[in-house]
Amino acid sequence: MSDSMTTRTVTVAGHGGDEVPAYLAQPEGAGPRGGVVVIHHMPGYDRATKEIVRRFAEMGYDAICPNLHWREAPGAAPDDASATVRARGGVPDDRLVGDVGGATAYLRGLPTSNGKVGVIGYCSGGRQSVLAACSLDLDAAVDCYGAFVTGTPPADFPLLVTSLVDRLPDLRAPLLGLFGNDDAHPSPDEVDELEKLVQENGKTYEFHRYDDAGHAFFAVDRPAYRVAAANDGWERIAEFYGTHLGN
Amino acid sequence: MCTYTTIAAPVSGSAKGPGGQWFHVTDATVYFDHPVHAMDEHTLNIDLSDPSRGPGQRVALELTAASARELLAAIAAALDAAPDELTA
């Protein structure tokens, strides 16, 4: 397999028909191949997230990341955009679903597509990955340490985040969950609750939990990075997507 | 963890921001969460901004919890040291 790829910014039809910029990376070659929608973390549509998009292209997938903060801050630096969105309460769930749906449709419309699309998100994007898989026709979902999939945010919580417990019966894609045992959100107890709920609802899932790892252990540019957990996590993702997004 | 916790406060004053230009600030956003730049897993973050002038019109601080408390105490001490009639 070649590791050559092409990257560019494209526009997807997001929530409400809005034109949303998205970063696209495509491997060389005609396909057919699966696609991956990357949901960026709360710090935004940043360099680290685009590196993840390119990594999925290197792994053989058409990969795309919509800029979820574009509406509030078109053209702004990722950190400024993130600060603006945070001050306004975060990304609304319905808008997230619409934007991920648009990115999914874009991938399926590519001439290289085999029709299969997975989603992955980190931190706040982990919860949003589960939300997308409860709302959209996806083939695989990966939740990397998303908080408040289970567990209840405080009553005075300032952001528009709610538990997804009531949505889990609608989960319609196999779920891979990757969690650090030193994390507080989601805590190991909250991961236990999520596992219990997906079991009770008869969903296909696979969870991996890592010692000596907390939140954001995949983040190579942050002190939370944990090499062993991240390396194993990437292997689990490769196997999972290979199973569910392959030809 | 992502704490998500975000507290907003109206403020009035000036800050030196992008391009070394002073600007009037109207909003403060305070949150304890992952920093963009500081080498700590979590920091107390403060954005002083004027949203009417766009997302980039912002001065950002990322402080360790201990240093944020030091700053809080220093601000309180400076205000307490000034005559009441000036700080009312």
Length of chain A: 247
Average of per-residue pLDDT across A216-227: 92
User: B residues 52-81 near A, CB within 8 Å?
Assistant: 54-56, 58, 60
pLDDT of residue A159: 59
Q: Which residue has the tokens 């997507």?
A: A241
Q: Which residue on chain B is closest to A187 by alpha carbon?
A: B1
pLDDT-derived band of residue A221, with 50, 70 and 90 as boundaries?
Answer: confident
Give the alpha-carbon dihedral of B28, B31, B33, B36, to 10 degrees. Answer: 0
Strand partners, B22: B16
Average of per-residue pLDDT across B54-83: 95
Using alpha carbons, select from A36, A69, A39 the residue that is nearest to residue A55: A36
Residue A44 and residue A196: Cα distance in Å, rounded? 31
- pLDDT beyond 70 at B7: yes
pLDDT tens for each residue of A107-153: 999 999 999 999 999 998 999 999 999 999 999 999 999 988 887 76
Using alpha carbons, select from A210, A226, A19, A246 the residue that is nearest to residue A114: A246
> Residue B8 is nearest to which of A82, A87, A223, comparing CB atoms?
A87
CA neighbours closer than 13 Å in the CB half-sphere of residue A95: 17
Kindly state whether B50 is in contact with chain A, defined as any CB-CB distance less than 8 angstroms: no
Q: Is B76 left (phi over 0), alpha (psi -120 to 50) or beta?
A: alpha
Residues from chain A contacting residue B49 (CB–CB below 8 Å) = 83, 87
pLDDT of residue A1: 63
Domain count along chain B = 1
- pLDDT beyond 90 at B34: no
Strand partners, A20: A12
- pLDDT beyond 60 at A42: yes
Using alpha carbons, select from B46, B84, B65 the residue that is nearest to residue A83: B46
Q: Which two tokens stand for residue B62?
A: 């990322």
Q: Is A19 exposed, middle or buried (0-12, 13-18, 19+ CB in 10 A)?
A: exposed
Residue B62 lies in a domain: yes
pLDDT of residue B2: 63
Q: Which residue on chain A is closest to B18 by alpha carbon?
A: A80
Give the alpha-carbon dihedral of A7, A10, A12, A18, to 10 degrees. Answer: 140
- Under an 8 A CB cutoff, do B47 and A87 touch? yes
- pLDDT beyond 60 at A158: no
Residue B60 lies in a domain: yes
At A27, give phi and psi (nearest 5°).
Answer: -65, 160
pLDDT of residue A162: 81
pLDDT tens for each residue of A47-102: 999 999 999 999 999 999 999 999 999 999 999 999 999 888 889 999 999 999 99
pLDDT-derived band of residue B88, with 50, 70 and 90 as boundaries?
Answer: confident
pLDDT of residue B67: 97
Residues A178 and A208: beta-carbon distance below 8 Å: yes
Residue A213 and residue A180: Cα distance in Å, rounded? 5
pLDDT-derived band of residue B41, with 50, 70 and 90 as boundaries?
Answer: confident
Residue B29 lies in a domain: yes
Range of the domain at B82: 6-87
Average of per-residue pLDDT across B2-17: 87
Kindly state whether B41 is in contact with chain A, defined as any CB-CB distance less than 8 angstroms: yes
Q: What angle is formed at CA A70 by the lines to CA A35 and CA B25, rounded to 5 degrees?
A: 150
pLDDT of residue B19: 87
| DSSP 3-state of A112 | coil
End-to-end CA distance of chain B: 39
Q: Whole-number mean pLDDT of chain B?
A: 92
Own/partner contacts of B13-21, CB < 8 Å, gap of 24 or more, are B13/B48, B15/B48, B15/B59, B16/B59, B17/B57, B17/B58, B17/B59, B18/B56, B18/B57, B18/B58
Q: Whole-number mean pLDDT of chain A?
A: 93
C-alpha to C-alpha distances, A47 to A6, A78, A113, A176, A221, nearest whole angstrom:
16, 9, 26, 24, 10
| DSSP 3-state of A34 | strand
Residue B65 lies in a domain: yes
Residues A23 and A53: beta-carbon distance below 8 Å: yes
**Domains recognised in chain A with CATH numbers:** 5-245 (3.40.50.1820)
Average of per-residue pLDDT across A26-33: 95
Residue B1 lies in a domain: no
pLDDT-derived band of residue A163, with 50, 70 and 90 as boundaries?
Answer: confident
Q: What percentage of chain A carries pLDDT values higher than 70?
A: 96
Q: Which residue on chain A is closest to B6 by alpha carbon?
A: A158
pLDDT of residue A155: 61
